[in-house]
Every structure is written in structure tokens, then in C-alpha cells.
Structure 1
Amino acid sequence: MFRPRATWEKNLIVLWFSVFATGMAFSEIMPFMSLFVDTLGNFTKSQLNFYSGLVFSITFLVSAVVSPIWGKMADHYGRKPMILRASLGMAIVIAADGLVSNVWQLFALRFIQGIFTGYVSNANALLATETPKEKSGQALGTLMAGLTGGSLIGPLLGGFLASAFSYRITFFITGGILLVVFITSVLFVHETDFKPVPAKKLTNTRGVIKALKDPQMIFGMLLTTLIIQATNNSITPIISLYVRELMHHSGNVTMVSGVVAAVPGIATMAAAPIFGRLGDRIGTERILSIGFILAICFFLPTAFVTNVWQLGILRFLVGISDATMIPQVQTLLAKNTPVEVTGRIFSWNQSFQYIGNVVGPMIGAYVSGIFDYGGVFIVTAILVLLNFILFRINVANKASNKIRQS
């Protein structure tokens, strides 16, 4: 435990706790965001739903647009300055949320929060470039486990803080957590192997694409990321309603829904480092393929469960399949991206994740309105199947390109 460690191992330890805290800070305000919006005016039910959705989604939409810009700056100035910018900016903006007096001020701050995106993507990029390639799967899988764990605990902590204090105080505490992330990153994160890319060398997307050995594979993985995020979030609008239906509108639906929503994160947090190490040994592509097959096998029967225990078990298994996907995609990006454009590629990946976060719930809400709740899981399984086919085509093309080049 106390052996001397390489710089990348020290960075991994610090960044694990930092992304854990960041994931926790992001997710802890979500359970009461719509309730906080309701305190900012006298809204009808439809108005409240509209404003809550607007306030929630604007951060992801803005983040999807600006992430490539920050990625470009990361390749020129370094990944550490970008994680410092993101953590300090978010600390100030989220704390300021507790001072708003109307919904449009909150909307404006959530818009600005989207601009200060990029901590996690640049933490991934920094770790990917500082870590030996043969250890990248383990490192990125472990980092993803930290983010998942924080995102899992966040709603529980946010609900407790809001109940014990108030919505506004919770925003201040959340800002304080991110300030600690900023200070920790300043003191303990070290970027030792950064080689800045001249601003004039990669001024546009075309320059980045030219630097890639296999751009088709990279863009295929970005699309894979989008679909993974969309499928993971497609059930977000209906999970508590599905639980209520399975419980026949009786019992503590809120608590059970929280447990069912949390179990995939528990499974992912435990399994991601294991699959990361396994991928380093037997091949990242193989682990990702297994993950797609497992996800299909777990999503399909979820449409036909008859009680909440069956749902909880299958959701736990879905969490295991999640551990084989997003971390492995990031590992493939790290292994197939030149160091000088890693920041840009990881920021693009973050943008595709944000788009998936927006598209997924829309798909779930639309499908559940036509085919009921079970139909969402069937459609999700079909999307995973299409993603698997896309990925296998991508891998086949990569193999054929290697043969031609040799």
C-alpha cells in the first residue's frame, strides 16, 4: 500500500477521488431540482414540467457544443489547466444557484455551468496520456468506477442535505465540494508528459482527422458512445413509474425506485476496474463485444418482469454490462489516438455522451407513450443490438485497414 508509485498511479488516486466528488456534486442536486424550480414562482403543472426540463437539459446541450472547444485548448495548453478551469468555474456557478430569485436566473446559471464543462473528459485525457498503454484499460476503468460511485451516492446525499438544511444551502455545500476538487487538483495532479500542439497546427476539425491513423474507427466509437448513453438513459423517465406499476400502486414506491435506480451504479462501480484489467489482457474489443451481448440478454427480459425483485436483479446485471462498455470505449480511444489530439477526441466523446443524455430520455418517454413501459426495454435492446453490429463492422474495417497497410 505504501510502496513508491509512478506519477500516473498518483494521478489515478487523486483523480479517482476528484471525479467521485464531481459525480456526486452533479447528481446530488438532481433529485430536488424540479422542487426548487417550483419555489421560484407560481407555476401550473405543465409550466413546472416545462421549466424543469428546460433547466435540466440546457446544461447538457451547451456542454455538447462547447466540449470540443475546451478539448482544442487542452491539446494546446494542457489538460491540467482545463480541469482547474472546469472545477473552479463549476464551484462558483453551482454555489450561485443558491442565490437566484427566479427561474430565468437559474436557467442562465445552468447555461453557464454547461460552458464550464470538461472536468471528467480532461481527467480521462490526462490519465490516458500519462498512463502506459498496457495499463490504460485498468486506469480508465478505475476512474469510471469513481465517477459512477459519486453519481450513485450524490442523490442520496442531496436528498439528505436538502431535508436537513434547505435547497439553497445544498447548492452552497455542492459548490464547496467542487472548490475542494479544484484545490486538490492544483496541489496533487501532475501533468509531466504534455507536449503542447501549436495553435496553428490543429486549427480545425480537419487537422485533427488528418492526425488520426483510423478516423473511421474513432468516429464509429464516438457514435457507439452516443448510443450507449442513449440506451442507458432511455429508461430514466419511466423507471419509477414502472416500479409503481409492479408494486400495484402500494408501498414505499419512492424508496424502492431509488434502490432500483442505484443498483446498476453499484454493479458498475465494482465491475469496471475488473473488466478494465481483463481487457488489457485479452483485448478491449472482446470485452466490449461481450458487454453488448450481455446488455441485450438483460434488457429483453426486463420488459416481462412481474415483480420489483426481478427488476432489481436485472438492473444489477445491466450495471455489470455497463462496466464493459463506456470504460472500454474510452480505452479504445486512448489506444488509437495520437497524444497530441487526445484532449480533442475525449472532448468529442464527452459531447456525444451529452447528446445521448438528452436523446435517451426522449426515446424512453416517446416509446412508453406508445407501447407502455415494457416496450422501452425492448426498443433499448434493439438499439444495443444495432450498436453491437456497428461496433463489429468498425472492428472488421480496422482489421482490414491493418492488413492493407502491412
Structure 2
Amino acid sequence: MSSAAVAAPSSFIYWKRNLTISVFGAFTSIIAMTLLIPLLPAYIKELGISDRALISQWSGIAYGATFLSAALVAPLWGRLSDRFGRKLMLVRASLGMTIVMAMMGFAHNVWELVALRLLVGLAGGYSSGANTLVATQTPENRTGWALGLLSAGILTGNLVGPLVGGFLPSVIGIRGTFMVAAGLIFITFLTTLFGMQEDRDGINERRRDQAANKGGWRRIEHRWLLAAMLVSGFLMMVANMSIEPIVALYVGHFVEPEAVLPTSGIVMAATACGGVFSAIWLGRFADRSSVGPWWTIVFCLAAGAFLMLPQAFVTAAWQLIVLRFLMGLALGGLLPCLSSMIRRHVPASMAGSVLGASVSVLYIGQVLGPLAGGYIGGHLSMQAVFILSCVLMSLGVLFNMVAMRRHRPA
């Protein structure tokens, strides 16, 4: 085991219980966050914006605001979790999201809505906090599997949320839907507060380590490895999210106008479905095989690049759906393996800070990907978006190969 192992054996006492609560909490909080996506344009119209172009513009701003603010504060919450405990950060996130989500239902204008979307990004971060907790409180030989299970819960929440958001407003209204979302996160808050356990000795040990070892990120020995993990996550997120703005337009080339929206939904869901199926298996594979998580990451990126290129040349919607599903299978284990690698090679007192930084990088990629895809698709061609995404993932493979050569295990 690496000298930088990030948890003492006593930290593993509650790992199964905490994993169960983390998966449940991430699943419910993601549902609550994503069920709002389909109703944002309708809510913005209800808030007084009538011009179609402005509705589209404000929808994009409101959607991206949460990821932007979350990217800014993720390293801070990670650092505080090192010092004050992982559970406390999850309790803070779920309570803060509950309050802000309820407030969104009472917005009077679009400015208030955007401000609250920024605020929920600042206050939230349950799934990223759960990722830190699971990564640091799970035995090393089960980390990939546990993180894969958490990733599967998050991906499933991303699938279920928009489906629920598509029909719930017609039953209870848009503002009522915000109350349901707040109530769902409140259940997560209660479950986390009363069900999760954390070893206080581990928190005190991290504080002593922080006090005794100054120097911050300079203390990290495996810098090439860490750089490879951050670059891999960023490039994968930019490449994968770049097609979000062009899906409906691209699908419109292959289907009748009335079938564009449902087919686009299937295309977008296909990747998540593939990820749900493969996340746990790839995590377990990285734990148990001689290949290890780093080579698993390289294989995932290479497979993603290989599957991205033919998407630029499909001639029917079903071909795109199949390729997106296969790409989800290929990439499903990438993020759990990234967190597993960081968990194995970062000091315990810095694990939250570094994992928080990795989450911040992913959020930045989640913002830049759609922006880049929309611009390239509009000014060059939609095929160019897939080709560029293939190039980005290929660069990720090359960077990892260079990092492996430069990496010197302790």
C-alpha cells in the first residue's frame, strides 16, 4: 500500500452503512436537481420573459449558473471536509440545498431565479461530498467497486430526474415541483444526519497531520499522476458534454420533426444507461485485476475516442443511440477510477482538498463542453464537434502515457 494511503483502518468501521446512505443521498439529490431542467424554460416564461430567444438564453444562464458556482467552491468544501469531517459537509450541503430549492419556488423574476441557481451551487455539492467520503472511508481493495456503485446511483438519478420533471409540473404545477424537490433533499438531509457515522479519531488525526506538515500541494509526491487524473477528467467531461447543445439539431437530420424531441431524449439517456451498467463492473475490475485503475482509465479514454469518431458519420438515429450507449459502457468506470487513484496516492489530510479540486475541474468541463460544442456546431459543422471530442480523448490517452513514464512510485 502507498505511504500516502488516505485512511486508517479505524476509518473503515462504518464504511458499508455510509456507502449505502451516500448512494441513496446522491441518487435523491441528483433527482431533485435534474427534475428542474425540463421546466426551466416554462418557469422563465412564467416569470415574465416572453421572447423565445430570451427564454432560451436565460435557460442556459440559469442552468450553467449552478455548475459555475459549484466549481468555484468545491476545493473549499473539500478542504473543510479534511478538517471538520466528511459527514458535516454532507449535512451542510443537503440542508443548504433544501432551503435554496424551496426558495426557488417563490422567485418573482428571472434575476432571482439565476441568483438562487448560483446559491444552490455554492451551498450544495452532496454527490461530490459523498464521493470524497466513500473514497476515503472504504478499504482500498474495495474502493473502485464502491465508487462505481456511487457513480451508478448518480447516473440513475440523472436518468430519473428529467423524466419526473417532464410530467410532475402538469400535476402539481411548476412551483409545487420545486417544493417536491426540496422535500426530497430534506429526506436526504435527515438520513445523513441520523444515519451516517464518522470516526472522530480519523478527523483528529487529519488535523494533527495538517498542523505538523505544512506546504500544501507541495507535499504531494505523485504530481504527474495527479496531473493525469485532473487532465483526464477535464478532457472526458468537455468531450462528452460537447454534444449536449447539438443533439436535437443532429437528430433532426435523421427523423421526422415530431420525433426529434423524444429521439433526442433517448440519445442523451443512452450514454447514462451505458454508464449505469458498467460503472460498478469497471470499478470492481480496477480493484481486482492486475491492470489496476490507471490502465483502466487509459483503456476507457481510448475506447471513448474510438467510439466518438463514427458518431460523426452516422446515417440513422438508431446508430447514434447504439454508439452513445457503447460509449457510456466505456466511460462508466472512468470517474470512479480517477477518484480511486487520488485516494491511493494523496495524504489523508489532503484527500478532501484534492478530490474537491478534481470535482471543480469536472464542473468547469461541464460548463465549457456545451459552450464549445454549441459554438463549433454553429460555426463549423456538427460533425466537427464529434471529431474534436475524439481528438480531446485521444490527447487524454497520450497525456496519461507520458505521465506514466514520468511517474515515480514512492
**Taking structure 2 as the reference length, what is the TM-score of the superposition?**
0.92
Matched, 1:78 2:81: no
The CA distance in 2 between the partners of 1:112 and 1:42, in whole Å, is 22
1:158-197 equivalences under 5 Å are 158-192=165-199, 194-196=202-204, 197=206
8 Å Cα contact 1:296-1:384 kept in structure 2: yes
Which SS does the other structure have where 1:246 is aligned? coil
Number of the residue aligned with 1:235: 243
- Amino acid paired to 2:145: Q
- Amino acid paired to 1:348: A
**Is there any run of 5+ residues in structure 1 with no aligned partner, and where?**
none
Number of the residue aligned with 2:6: none
1:241-291 superposed Cα distances (whole Å, 9 cap, x missing partner): 1112211x4342211211111111111111110010101122111211111
Q: Residue 202 and residue 362 in structure 1: after superposition, are their counterparts in 2 closer, same or farther (change >3 A)?
A: farther
The CA distance in 1 between the partners of 2:211 and 2:311, in whole Å, is 46
- Amino acid paired to 2:182: G
1:91-110 equivalences under 5 Å are 91-110=98-117
1:38-59 superposed Cα distances (whole Å, 9 cap, x missing partner): 2111342332232222211121
Number of the residue aligned with 1:332: 341
The CA distance in 1 between the partners of 2:405 and 2:197, in whole Å, is 38
1:217-241 superposed Cα distances (whole Å, 9 cap, x missing partner): 2133112211111111100001121
1:276 to 279, 283, 299: 283
1:349-388 superposed Cα distances (whole Å, 9 cap, x missing partner): 1111110011000110111123322221111101100111
Matched, 1:390 2:399: yes
The CA distance in 1 between the partners of 2:209 and 2:54, in whole Å, is 48
1:212 to 197, 220, 243: 220
Number of the residue aligned with 2:263: 256
Which SS does the other structure have where 2:203 is aligned? coil
| Residue 198 (structure 1) shift | 3.6
1:286 to 283, 290, 295: 295
Matched, 1:356 2:365: yes
- Number of residue pairs matched by the alignment: 395
- Amino acid paired to 1:62: S
| Residue 159 (structure 1) shift | 0.8
The CA distance in 1 between the partners of 2:123 and 2:202, in whole Å, is 22
Which SS does the other structure have where 2:288 is aligned? helix
The CA distance in 2 between the partners of 1:267 and 1:333, in whole Å, is 24
| Residue 306 (structure 1) shift | 0.5
8 Å Cα contact 2:38-2:162 kept in structure 1: yes
Number of the residue aligned with 1:44: 51
- Amino acid paired to 1:260: V
1:78-137 superposed Cα distances (whole Å, 9 cap, x missing partner): 010000000010011011111111011111111211111321222111111211111111
| Residue 303 (structure 1) shift | 0.6
Identical residues among aligned pairs (%) = 33
The CA distance in 1 between the partners of 2:307 and 2:227, in whole Å, is 27
Matched, 1:34 2:30: no
8 Å Cα contact 1:211-1:341 kept in structure 2: no
Q: Residue 203 and residue 40 in structure 1: after superposition, are their counterparts in 2 closer, same or farther (change >3 A)?
A: farther
Number of the residue aligned with 2:134: 127
2:21 to 14, 27, 38: 14
| Residue 199 (structure 1) shift | 9.2
8 Å Cα contact 1:240-1:254 kept in structure 2: yes
| Residue 26 (structure 1) shift | 1.4
The CA distance in 2 between the partners of 1:233 and 1:66, in whole Å, is 21
8 Å Cα contact 1:228-1:326 kept in structure 2: no
1:45-77 superposed Cα distances (whole Å, 9 cap, x missing partner): 332232222211121111111111111111110
Which SS does the other structure have where 1:221 is aligned? helix
- Amino acid paired to 2:160: I
**Is there any run of 5+ residues in structure 2 with no aligned partner, and where?**
1-11
Number of the residue aligned with 1:63: 70
| Residue 294 (structure 1) shift | 1.0
8 Å Cα contact 2:105-2:178 kept in structure 1: yes
Matched, 1:141 2:138: no
What root-mean-square deviation, in Å, do the aligned CA atoms of Structure 1 and Structure 2 show? Answer: 2.0
1:333-363 superposed Cα distances (whole Å, 9 cap, x missing partner): 1111111111111111111111001100011
- Amino acid paired to 2:170: S
| Residue 202 (structure 1) shift | 6.7
8 Å Cα contact 2:210-2:349 kept in structure 1: no
- Amino acid paired to 2:224: Q
8 Å Cα contact 2:243-2:386 kept in structure 1: yes
Matched, 1:301 2:310: yes
The CA distance in 1 between the partners of 2:373 and 2:40, in whole Å, is 21
- Amino acid paired to 1:311: L
- Amino acid paired to 1:345: V
- Amino acid paired to 2:136: T
8 Å Cα contact 1:265-1:319 kept in structure 2: yes
Q: Residue 25 and residue 371 in structure 1: after superposition, are their counterparts in 2 closer, same or farther (change >3 A)?
A: same
Which SS does the other structure have where 2:202 is aligned? coil
Which SS does the other structure have where 1:245 is aligned? coil
- Amino acid paired to 1:263: A
- Deviating more after overlay: 130-139 vs 31-40: 31-40
Number of the residue aligned with 2:5: none
Which SS does the other structure have where 1:303 is aligned? helix
